[in-house]
């Protein structure tokens, strides 16, 4: 119930409660002071949206903004759930004017016959998916590849124009025009009228997502009206030549096959909206990325030295500082978001840039970490059935631009300046980006070949974990037991390393041997300076550990990947039992340290054949005292698993790492315990290569994306998903690491990975897309 105005005034509530109830706030006055102050047109939001709503992410993740008349949602899980359900949360308001214009501006728009209508991004079902499916082909990685030479040529020519000047506004001199030209080519539009289109598309942004002042509204309306008419004229020109290349011509051809799906109204509206979708988003995203990277000179240096880092750097920039800061949905039913009741008819501003900084999903979320393994989970492209169709074109352009800059202008720096943004809720990028450099130092003055450069292949699609490595220096290499080498790895420049949690591992690349091996981190997560691992020189190893023992010395440089964590400790467990066999102590010791810190009751069983071969015994005894139980078989003290696990206990979790035989014995000893009591870590795969003669093809239905795809007998599920533009991360592609896990909603899975527990397999709700398939060629339904 809304308090009386007098009561509200006594509490200093700044809200007009009458206006609030008109906006359907269901619970009286849910508006805190900070929510009342929220103003997405203010400089605070414009400069840094995720920082501006940090308070909300932390304290009030779903709040009502009386200034905007919208519910604002700021956490990752809530926003992803909204994207997932495009029926309860309709996209129909995505292109609606966020600030309604006055009668004069509306009259101007009417005079131009302005009728921007449903396109794709704001179309409801059941109309949307058939149209999206009909128009998707030109966006698949296979079809996008032929745009790459154009992007490269344009990037080179534009840099040629200013490379000798020592100073440039990258937005004005390159980043605005190149993505516009690429967008026009992609759409199939002739290149003329570029300046007009530029002016018009800014007006369209302000008209849709901005707050033009009454006196500006009329000028904006004229520009938008002109844009609309120009779009109509260009479309007519295209209809004269429907066989030409271009997405619009593809749409014109599809219209002949399915006129009820690809309508006239759609084509005209898309002609206008498509330019903005493809152009401004990418121009802004590149400007944001270059600015962010130059603000982190050590990161800039790293990508200059190692361009293979660029694909993931692009992804991390899109996460950290993307060009779409927020998107919109309309609640069509009474529902809850993050536990807050929302009435049908409520409008939602979903602040995707805030989701991208949610600590609950991205560890150390404010850090720019170009090796972050889940960077591509960001929501800058939206998610689900409306997810950006052009994402892989944008990623490709951004990679080419960064490659060009890092190769030809590695000495570029940000010039002193303050950044301005076109005030609006959604589209975000600096209006100018001044950079400077000393032309005498241009690498191509010494070596003309730099201009052409070596081309590292652009990755069309979501970046792969394989490419993301990080240099480290071996600070110490000391024996920790017979045959066990303890390595302390630090950043070469002594800076902090990414945060990690117990159970995490890193992959160590073994020089030029082509081998890389996974080792659990065994140090203290609070020590941000170093990663510690312990490597057993195992005669049965596949060569990686032998390489480490033979080659690694203090002072050496190594390349590593990660950290990644597929062996997470459940911090909510009431009691923890840790069982380690031999070198399996490494992840377990980091977990036991955490249990001790949290004050959770725990015991640590450490088994080995002989004491001299068991690493870290002294340190473990000093830290864990009587919580540590040593079982040294040569000394006759074997661990009796049957006795240890005789009586199941609710709330207890057992974490184990060690030889396969020990893990199998543990699994047998835990059968009468509640499901998922036992969590284990494997480091070796039994997976062979895919043999098409033994496999069956099957179908997958993707619930969130509204697609059904065939998976051929000679193809993994992961490969089929990627070919259809669905982002799935992957790393080992051997069923070991868990990166490529997808959620299964229906259908029997033939599990072939080493990640899931028995009951997780039986539950059939998750599968590893790199290796697991459908049983007997049956259909699977996935939450993708
Ligand atoms: C949709 C962002 C580049 C074409 C979207 C959506 C977002 C977005 C947030 C709405 C997603 C949703 O509702 O779930 C971006 C960003 C880009 C970019 C940040 C650049 C960095 C492009 C490019 C094209 C494009 C280059 C075309 C060549 C589209 C289309 C849709 C869309 C057609 C509508 C999809 C649908 O509703 O089914 N984009 N976009 N975008 N984008 Fe992009």
Does residue 145 register a pLDDT over 80? yes
Residue with the larger pLDDT of the pair 511 and 529: 529
Question: Mutation test of ligand 1: which of 123, 390, 424, 727 has the most ligand atoms closer than 8 Å to its C-beta?
Answer: 390
Domains, the chain? 105-452 (1.10.630.10), 471-565 (2.40.30.10), 575-681 (3.40.50.80), 692-782 (3.10.20.30)
Estimate to the nearest angstrom the gap between the alpha carbon of 642 and the chain centroid. 44
Helices (H), 708-769: 717-723, 758-763
Give the model confidence (pLDDT) of 9-39 as tens digits.
Answer: 334 444 455 555 544 444 555 688 899 999 9
Give the H or E element holding residue 639. Answer: none
CA distances, 128 to each of 123, 131, 708, 769 (Å): 5, 5, 15, 27
Any ligand 1 atom below 6 A from CB of 246: no
User: DSSP character for 173?
Assistant: I
Question: Mutation test of ligand 1: which of 132, 381, 384, 460 has the most ligand atoms closer than 8 Å to its C-beta?
Answer: 381
Any ligand 1 atom below 6 A from CB of 380: yes
Q: Which of 654, 578, 582, 567 is nearest to 613 (CA)?
A: 582
**Range name among 585-599, 642-656, 754-768 with the lowest pLDDT average:** 754-768
Q: What average pLDDT is seen over the chain?
A: 90
Nearest residue (by CA) to ligand 1, atom 31, is 388
Estimate to the nearest angstrom the gap between the alpha carbon of 444 and the chain centroid. 35
Give the model confidence (pLDDT) of 626-663 as tens digits.
Answer: 999 999 999 999 999 999 999 999 999 999 999 888 99
Any ligand 1 atom below 6 A from CB of 394: yes
Phi and psi angles of residue 480, each rounded to the nearest 5 degrees, phi first: -110, -15
User: What proportion of the chain, given as a percentage, has pLDDT over 70?
Assistant: 93
pLDDT, average across residues 390-405 = 96
Strands 167-169 and 434-436 come out as antiparallel
Estimate to the nearest angstrom the gap between the alpha carbon of 3 and the chain centroid. 43
Q: What's the gap in Å between 600 CA and the centre of ligand 1?
A: 47
**Range name among 22-31, 78-87, 502-511, 544-553 with the lowest pLDDT average:** 22-31
Question: Mutation test of ligand 1: which of 129, 139, 388 has the most ligand atoms closer than 8 Å to its C-beta?
Answer: 388
Q: What's the gap in Å between 726 CA and the centre of ligand 1?
A: 14
Residue 565 has what pLDDT? 82
Residue 28 has what pLDDT? 53
Estimate to the nearest angstrom the gap between the alpha carbon of 452 and the chain centroid. 32
pLDDT, average across residues 75-101 = 92
Its pTM stands at 0.79
ipTM (interface pTM): 0.99
Query: Rounded distance, CA 639 to CA 629, Å?
Result: 9
Query: Rounded distance, CA 64 to CA 70, Å?
Result: 6
Give yes or no for a contact between 657 and 587, defined as CB atoms under 8 angstroms apart. yes
Any ligand 1 atom below 6 A from CB of 589: no
Helices (H), 210-263: 214-240, 247-257
Give yes or no for a contact between 93 and 329, defined as CB atoms under 8 angstroms apart. yes
Question: Using CA of residue 223, residue 224, residue 229, residue 235, what is the dihedral sign?
Answer: positive
Query: Rounded distance, CA 319 to CA 372, Å?
Result: 10
Any ligand 1 atom below 6 A from CB of 429: no
Residue 499 has what pLDDT? 86
């Amino acid at each position: 119930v809304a308090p009386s105005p007098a009561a509200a005034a006594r509490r200093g509530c700044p809200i007009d409660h009458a206006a609030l109830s008109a906006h359907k706030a269901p619970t009286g006055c849910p508006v805190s002071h900070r929510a009342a102050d929220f103003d997405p047109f203010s400089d605070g939001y414009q400069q840094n949206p995720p920082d501006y709503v940090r308070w909300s992410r932390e304290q009030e993740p779903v709040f009502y903004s009386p200034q905007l008349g919208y519910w604002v949602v700021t956490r990752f899980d809530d926003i992803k759930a909204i994207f997932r359900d495009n029926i309860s949360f309709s996209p129909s308001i995505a292109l609606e004017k966020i600030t309604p214009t006055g009668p004069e501006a509306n009259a101007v728009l009417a005079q131009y016959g302005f009728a921007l209508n449903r396109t794709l991004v704001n179309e409801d079902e059941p109309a949307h998916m058939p149209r999206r499916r009909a128009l998707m082909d030109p966006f698949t990685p296979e079809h996008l590849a032929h745009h790459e030479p154009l992007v490269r040529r344009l990037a080179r020519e534009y840099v040629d124009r200013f490379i000798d000047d020592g100073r440039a506004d990258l937005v004005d001199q390159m980043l605005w025009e190149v993505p516009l030209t690429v967008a026009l080519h992609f759409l199939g539009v002739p290149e003329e009228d570029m300046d007009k289109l530029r002016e018009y598309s800014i007006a369209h942004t302000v008209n849709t997502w901005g707050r033009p002042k009454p006196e500006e509204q009329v000028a904006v309306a004229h520009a938008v009206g002109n844009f609309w008419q120009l779009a109509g004229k260009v479309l007519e020109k295209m209809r004269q030549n429907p066989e030409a290349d271009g997405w619009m011509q593809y749409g014109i051809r599809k219209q002949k096959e399915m006129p009820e799906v690809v309508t006239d109204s759609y084509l005209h509206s898309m002609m206008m909206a498509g330019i903005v979708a493809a152009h401004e988003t990418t121009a802004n995203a590149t400007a944001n990325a270059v600015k962010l990277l130059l603000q982190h000179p050590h990161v800039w240096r790293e990508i200059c030295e190692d361009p293979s880092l660029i694909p993931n750097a692009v992804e991390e920039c899109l996460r950290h500082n993307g060009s779409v800061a927020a998107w919109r949905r309309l609640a069509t039913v009474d529902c809850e978001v993050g536990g807050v009741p929302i009435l049908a008819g409520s409008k939602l501003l979903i602040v995707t840039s805030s989701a991208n900084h949610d600590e609950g999903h991205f560890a150390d979320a404010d850090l720019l970490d170009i090796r972050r393994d889940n960077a591509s989970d960001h929501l800058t492209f939206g998610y689900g059935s409306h997810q950006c169709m052009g994402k892989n074109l944008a990623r490709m352009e951004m990679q080419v631009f960064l490659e060009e800059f890092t190769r030809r202008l590695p000495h570029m720096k940000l010039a002193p300046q303050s950044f301005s943004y076109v005030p609006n809720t959604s589209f975000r990028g600096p209006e100018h980006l001044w950079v400077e450099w000393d032309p005498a130092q241009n690498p191509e003055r010494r070596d003309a070949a730099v201009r052409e450069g070596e081309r590292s292949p652009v990755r069309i699609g979501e970046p792969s974990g394989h490419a993301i490595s990080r240099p480290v220096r071996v600070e110490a290499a000391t024996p920790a037991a017979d045959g066990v080498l303890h390595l302390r790895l630090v950043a070469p420049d002594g800076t902090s390393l990414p945060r990690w949690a117990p159970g995490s591992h890193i992959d160590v690349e073994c020089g030029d041997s082509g081998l890389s091996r996974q080792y659990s981190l065994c140090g203290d997560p609070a020590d941000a300076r170093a990663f510690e691992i312990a490597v057993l020189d195992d005669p049965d190893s596949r060569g990686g550990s032998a390489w480490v023992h033979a080659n690694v010395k203090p002072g050496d440089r190594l390349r590593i990947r990660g950290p990644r964590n597929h062996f997470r400790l459940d911090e909510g467990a009431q009691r923890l039992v840790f069982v380690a066999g031999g070198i399996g102590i490494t992840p377990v010791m980091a977990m036991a340290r955490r249990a001790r810190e949290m004050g959770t009751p725990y015991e640590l069983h450490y088994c080995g054949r002989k004491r001299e071969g068991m690493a870290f015994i002294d340190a473990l005894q000093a830290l864990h005292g009587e919580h540590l139980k040593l079982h040294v078989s040569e000394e006759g003290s074997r661990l009796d698993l049957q006795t240890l696990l005789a009586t199941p206990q609710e709330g207890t979790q057992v974490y184990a790492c060690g030889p396969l035989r020990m893990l199998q014995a543990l699994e047998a000893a835990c059968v009468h315990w509640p499901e998922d009591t036992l969590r284990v870590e494997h480091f070796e795969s039994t997976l062979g290569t895919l043999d098409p003669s033994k496999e069956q093809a099957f179908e997958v239905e993707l619930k969130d994306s509204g697609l059904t795809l065939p998976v051929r007998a000679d193809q993994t599920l992961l490969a089929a998903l990627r070919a259809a533009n669905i982002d799935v991360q992957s790393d080992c592609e051997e069923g070991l690491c868990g990166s490529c896990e997808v959620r299964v909603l229906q259908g029997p899975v033939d599990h072939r990975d080493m990640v899931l527990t028995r009951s997780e397999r039986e539950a059939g709700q998750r599968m590893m897309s790199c290796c697991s398939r459908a049983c007997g060629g049956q259909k699977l339904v996935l939450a993708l």
